[in-house]
Structure 1
């Protein structure tokens, strides 16, 4: 596939996004529009657009690649997806009503009322760090594909490819913010979903399969095992670990994450927000099953045509992340290659643009206290623009550093990082919700939130020796949250008789 053709389609794609940005922000680009889209988003657009945000380029490339990975992943990831679905239900039925009753712009304002100002800054800081790292990892995965298949041809260095990508994302999000993203993410999810279905169609055509034959081929391929019930202690794929891990990763990375919650809070009311979450959950489960099916078909195609897993230029090791782009761009025809690249670009930039907006919102509200200032001013808008630029540059630096040291599958790296960084958020929110009669020692909260991941790292490193061969997977996030909760409980005391204001605040926080 000629790099020039792919590049021309990507440029056209971004021009479309810029037009959408102009149309959505020309009448209003104030902070209310940027942060919460004036609380006037259509729930069905939010639900569909969130699919692209939640999936990202990681799902697009790494999930199909892991189906035939040497570790024997097969469809084990779908157990994690089912756990995600349980987590989405908790978010819709428990957390969303809380956020709407309190009329929050940043969800970390809840922690200030429940635990105190230091806890509040700690929670917001954890989000800023976690989301910056996670979004940088996701963008990194796509940029290395763009570099390998397009920009290397023009001798453009990797760092410049990253800078161009972030600059393009910044250009269509810095004015309209969430209002623009609700529309662009809907378009990008449409590209993503269409790409998945058309990829399945093209591969099936190449393998001379009709749909029933493709289903049978996947079923009998040796790649389609979903539920793993053997070796609870030593296998990270055991169904209970995956379900529990998927559920609590979702509660933390969605329900306690400003990014996806910001979109939910832009709906008109709690009813529409919950319809959005439940509809999104259905989309999410189905599309992930199709991604896994793409993976099985890719390995069947590779086996038939003698295609080996591509080698990473940095580590010299086989890299399953590259199998999908290798086949789509070098072995299929022009149209499948274009559709793949558009789907990949849409998946990743839907995640990154949303993350940059959420990071900017959290910093402006949680640290600069825009919500506590009586008027929207031109100076505040300019400050928001500089914050937006600052997080774009920070993400750039994280990607450059990660590129210099990475030698693991990106999808595993992201959820490993999430297990450590999002775990304390679980503990903080759980304490606020279930220990209402206790007052935490606010000044010690940052220490507890650092020690908890450190203990978990130690447990994960030596679990086989300490716990009779037990191997942790994503359920480690629950352990992390539990350690944080216990730490908060130890350094807390019984609350004194509440004041009138505290009683009022408690009623607002009641679930």
Structure 2
């Protein structure tokens, strides 16, 4: 594999992003950065959000889940992951018809402003802090996974150290987002989503050609290998199909509808009707795209077996190396099993999946910190230029935090850290779910100082203890429903400390 050729293509791709960002961000101001001046086209937002939602984790991990064996340490096998995708789909409807109308009616720039208006400033800051922790750790975990793949399979050969790779990629993201923010990433995410989907389609076509099969014939082969099993009927399992559906629904409500990064793009659309169109179009498209990633994973396992790959215990060996799970797609693409042009397309697709999730997170964290904690929009004594300088400093500070967290993940050097971070998200997004639900579905008020903050801390701790107790004393395994349990405990805690409104 020619690493230099691949890097040249990456450089050309990034220069193209910078040129587009420069054109789009012309005359951008703070409102352009935060909400795109509410002039974003709904269809651009819908398409670009596909890349943001999937991220590099989906690009690498979802294909690898297909061949994972039942009873191993891994969570999913076959097409079981698709049950969670269906849950995502249902969750997007709730976001579109419950949360979006609320955000537009209140004309919010930061969605956590709702908590301040509904409760008090403590609730506003609590919501923002939980989002910053959740999105900051989650985004850097996703970044680490992709950067580590680039480092192991590409840049180690050129003698580039990991810290330099990380710094260069973060600087790339800063260069095309610091000026235009949401206004820029709505357009660049659309471009990057296009490249990611092109990469997906090209890889599927190439592997089908090497297998000498049509898509229908390949699907029949997948079914014979039990790669397409969909429903896990074991109620004690983490991936029991009803738990996956309900868990996926709550994850979408919390990690999309209550997430400043995802909602920042939605509320940049000019009106509620078009924002709903964006959400529902995006949700429907994800059903197709995730199915395509699972199909790609299945045929990659078939092709690997044709090349001599085989199962040995809980491992899938190819050339005496375990290629199970996250290692499958990168190994097949970058270690000579697929031709150079497919390697280039894979890298471009991987970067195209990486950037939308990272640039959106960096922009959203900057927005939340500036608006929710620094109260920049409410400070009438600051000039527009001064606000811009503060916002750029915050942007660079979060970039530095991203850099440090990625180095910490590298130091830990545990590939399962990504799955751990996803579980941590269940603990950190749960209080947001409970807070918003309590505010929307009740009219009760809370006047106890630090009461909301206390509940938001105690609920995740109780959830953690419940999870430990269930694992140690029963055969039942709590999976993605963890976030719902956490949200319910938050709701109950808020009810206990609240009183009826006059």
Same fold (TM over 0.5): yes
Please tell me the root mean square deviation across aligned C-alpha atoms, in Å: 1.7
Q: Secondary structure at the match of 1:235?
A: coil
Residue 405 of structure 1 is matched in structure 2 by 412
Q: Secondary structure at the match of 2:446?
A: strand
| Cα distance, 1:48–1:287 mapped onto 2, change above 3 Å | same
Distance in 2, Cα, partners of 1:480 & 1:413: 17
TM (normalized to structure 2)?
0.94
Residue 498 of structure 2 is matched in structure 1 by 492
Residue 14 of structure 1 is matched in structure 2 by 14
Deviation at 1:444, TM superposition (A): 2.0
Q: Would you say how many aligned residue pairs link Structure 1 and Structure 2?
A: 488
In the alignment, is the contact (CA less than 8 A) between 2:66 and 2:298 conserved in 1? yes
Name which of 388, 395, 420 aligns with 1:381. 388
Deviation at 1:415, TM superposition (A): 2.4
| Cα distance, 1:442–1:252 mapped onto 2, change above 3 Å | farther
Residue 68 of structure 1 is matched in structure 2 by 67
In the alignment, is the contact (CA less than 8 A) between 1:117 and 1:442 conserved in 2? no
Distance in 1, Cα, partners of 2:241 & 2:10: 40
> Which region of structure 1 is more displaced relative to structure 2, 54-63 or 440-449?
440-449
> Which region of structure 1 is more displaced relative to structure 2, 177-186 or 368-377?
368-377
Map residues 50-449 of structure 1 onto 2, 5 A cutoff. Answer: 50-70=49-69, 71=72, 73-229=77-233, 231-232=234-235, 234-307=236-309, 320-330=325-335, 331-374=337-380, 376-409=383-416, 412-439=419-446, 441-449=448-456
Distance in 2, Cα, partners of 1:118 & 1:143: 37
Q: Secondary structure at the match of 2:225?
A: coil
Distance in 2, Cα, partners of 1:287 & 1:410: 25
Distance in 2, Cα, partners of 1:139 & 1:442: 38
Q: Deviations over 1:398-420 (max 9, x none)?
A: 11112222434465334212111
Residue 472 of structure 1 is matched in structure 2 by 478
In the alignment, is the contact (CA less than 8 A) between 1:310 and 1:326 conserved in 2? no
5+ residue gaps, structure 2, are none
Q: Deviations over 1:258-305 (max 9, x none)?
A: 001000000010000000000000111110000011111111111121
Distance in 2, Cα, partners of 1:440 & 1:262: 30
Q: Secondary structure at the match of 2:499?
A: strand
| Cα distance, 1:408–1:145 mapped onto 2, change above 3 Å | closer
Deviation at 1:461, TM superposition (A): 2.1
1:461 aligned onto 2:468: yes
In the alignment, is the contact (CA less than 8 A) between 1:116 and 1:442 conserved in 2? no
In the alignment, is the contact (CA less than 8 A) between 1:32 and 1:38 conserved in 2? yes
Q: Deviations over 1:93-133 (max 9, x none)?
A: 00000000000000000000112111110100000110011
Distance in 1, Cα, partners of 2:262 & 2:125: 20
Distance in 1, Cα, partners of 2:237 & 2:215: 33
> Which region of structure 1 is more displaced relative to structure 2, 251-260 or 59-68?
59-68
5+ residue gaps, structure 1, are 498-511
Deviation at 1:334, TM superposition (A): 1.3
1:452 aligned onto 2:459: yes
| Cα distance, 1:118–1:135 mapped onto 2, change above 3 Å | same
TM (normalized to structure 1)?
0.92
Q: Deviations over 1:183-215 (max 9, x none)?
A: 100000001111111111011111111222122
Distance in 2, Cα, partners of 1:256 & 1:390: 24
Deviation at 1:435, TM superposition (A): 2.1
1:44 aligned onto 2:49: no
1:23 aligned onto 2:34: no
Distance in 1, Cα, partners of 2:477 & 2:205: 38
Q: Deviations over 1:340-368 (max 9, x none)?
A: 11111000111100111111111111011
Distance in 1, Cα, partners of 2:471 & 2:268: 45
Q: Secondary structure at the match of 1:438?
A: coil
Distance in 1, Cα, partners of 2:284 & 2:190: 16
Distance in 2, Cα, partners of 1:355 & 1:218: 36
Distance in 2, Cα, partners of 1:410 & 1:271: 40
